[in-house]
Amino acid sequence: MIPDNLKYTKEHEWIKIEGDIAVVGITDYAQGELGDIVFVELPGIGAPVLNMKPFGTIEAVKAISDLFSPLTGEVVEINSDLESDASVINTDPYGNGWIIKIKFSDRGELDGLLSAADYQAVINKV
């Protein structure tokens, strides 16, 4: 289950570009690997994020993982529904389980993101 209309990173994030805003979440593969997600630690609105640097953590029953920002920019929105129930990332990773929205500042970084086919290749290698 890898939607064609999204971009991806090798760290298993998905990115949906809406103008100069990038919606970011983790892939179905990533949620499956993590298992039951209990909560996420996210930066505040306005916080700067850097291309391929951690911006938060995602904590599952059996594992903890860093969340990597796919782009450089500023956090403009976080999914506040995750505060009360982060398991929506397990059940709807590409929809209601989105994590943050970034206003990105370097359009050139988009070229570094993976297509659905590229990402499929990354998973196949795991």
Partner 1 sequence: MIRKTPFFDIHEKLGAKIVEFAGYYMPIQYRSITEEHRRIRKSVGIFDLSHMGEIMVGGEGAWQFVQQAVTNDITPLGIGQVLYTCMCYPDGGIVDDLLVYNLGDEYLLVVNASNIEKDFDHLKSLRKSDDVTLTDLSEATALLAIQGPDAEKVMAKLTDYDLPSIKYYWSAVGEIAGIEMMFSRTGYTGEDGFELYFPAENAKTIWDAVMRASAEFDGEPVGLGARDSLRLEMKYALYGSDIDQTTNPLEAGLGWTVKLDKPDFVGKKALMDIKEIGLKRKLVAFELAERGIPRPHYPIMSGGVKIGEVTSGIFSPMLEKGIGTGYAAAESSGIGTKIEIEIRGKLIPATVIKPPFYKSGTRR
- Please state the closest distance from residue 85 (CB atom) to partner 1, in A: 11
- The enclosing H or E element of 45 equals none
Which residue lies nearer to partner 1 by CB, 33 or 109? 33
Which residue lies nearer to partner 1 by CB, 77 or 83? 83
- Please state the closest distance from residue 10 (CB atom) to partner 1, in A: 22
Contacts of 54 (CB under 8 A, 6+ apart): 66, 67, 68, 69
Which residue lies nearer to partner 1 by CB, 35 or 95? 35
d(CA 27, CA 11): 9
- Please state the closest distance from residue 73 (CB atom) to partner 1, in A: 24
The SS3 call for residue 74 is strand
- CB 66: neighbour CB atoms within 10 A? 12
- Please state the closest distance from residue 59 (CB atom) to partner 1, in A: 6
Binding residues for partner 1, rule: CB under 8 A, are: 35-36, 38-39, 57, 59, 61-62, 64, 87, 90
Which residue's entry shows tokens 């990173």?
9
Which residue lies nearer to partner 1 by CB, 40 or 114? 40
Which residue's entry shows tokens 């988009």?
110
